[in-house]
Amino acid sequence: MIEALLVSLGFGAAAAGVACGLALHPRSPIGAPVVRRDPAGGVRITFDDGPDPEWTPRVLDRLAAIGARASFFVLGDRVDRYPELVRACAAAGHEIEIHGMSHRAATFQWPASLAREIATLSDSIEELTQRRPRWYRPPYGARPMLSSAIRPLRLVTWSWSCGDWPGGADNGARFPRVRAGDVVLLHDGPSAAPGARARTLGALEALAATSQPLVALGEP
């Protein structure tokens, strides 16, 4: 009797874990509503994990060279260290959005704590850019348990990644084919992996060679 109960509890815990994983995975069809592609078209360029004094200026130069605009999903601890880079991104016409105060997974973060974190970072960004963020991308793409914790922001993951984290390839690397409506995941934060940011910059060149306009999330 006890053994059967333990087995039943074990199966129940496993099923709950699988259901939770399905709801939180970036590509899951269930769970909190999330944007992965934009039916309005264009290719939506996004960067995570910045700003960074070495790589963000290089990314900005490359974006200007190819005539692209992007959405930068920033970390609050780096915003505090490099506010001038946040201003530079906004001054260049790019959007500044929320990635978190640190790169801690939001999946099991207490909703009230996550809401306070997002509000604090939103205030900092608005003070620096005169524009309040409208989008939230959770670290690792793992969605929070309750969508109410991030309101009024919209939750976004991605549909196209160049694999620049951890990287390990040079500018000549081959990339997946991009399609109209794709939300592109790139990084401008620091990386200890050799070749990671070279792959980022190479991906921008590959994207520029497509016939699709390269735009930020909020653009029509």
| 25 and 119, same domain (yes or no) | no
What is the percent of the chain where pLDDT is above 90?
65
Taking the whole predicted model, whether its pTM rises above 0.75 is answered as yes
Closest CA to 45 of 25, 67, 78, 76: 67
**What is the sign of the dihedral through the CA atoms of 8, 11, 13 and 16?**
negative
| 196 and 209, same domain (yes or no) | yes
Please give the Cα distance from 121 to 126 (Å, whole number): 9
pLDDT exceeds 60 at position 138: yes
Q: Mind listing the pLDDT tens digit for each residue in 197-219?
A: 999 999 999 999 998 999 999 99
Question: DSSP string covering 132-167, please?
Answer: ---EE--GGG---S-GGGGTTSEEB--SEE--TTT-
Please give the Cα distance from 150 to 73 (Å, whole number): 14
Q: Is 86 within the bounds of a domain?
A: yes
Q: Is 147 within the bounds of a domain?
A: yes
Query: Which domain, by its residues, includes 20?
Result: 1-31
**Total domain count, the chain:** 2
User: What CATH code is carried by the domain that includes residue 57?
Assistant: 3.20.20.370
pLDDT at residue number 106: 83
Q: Among 48, 52, 164, 182, which one carries the catalytic annotation? A: 48
Q: Is 48 a catalytic residue?
A: yes
pLDDT exceeds 60 at position 73: yes
* Contact of 187 with 49, CB cutoff 8 Å: yes
Q: Is 220 within the bounds of a domain?
A: no
Length of the chain: 220
* Contact of 181 with 36, CB cutoff 8 Å: no
Q: Is 166 within the bounds of a domain?
A: yes
For 94-109, what is the mean pLDDT? 91
| 88 and 51, same domain (yes or no) | yes
Q: Among 52, 99, 164, 187, which one carries the catalytic annotation? A: 187
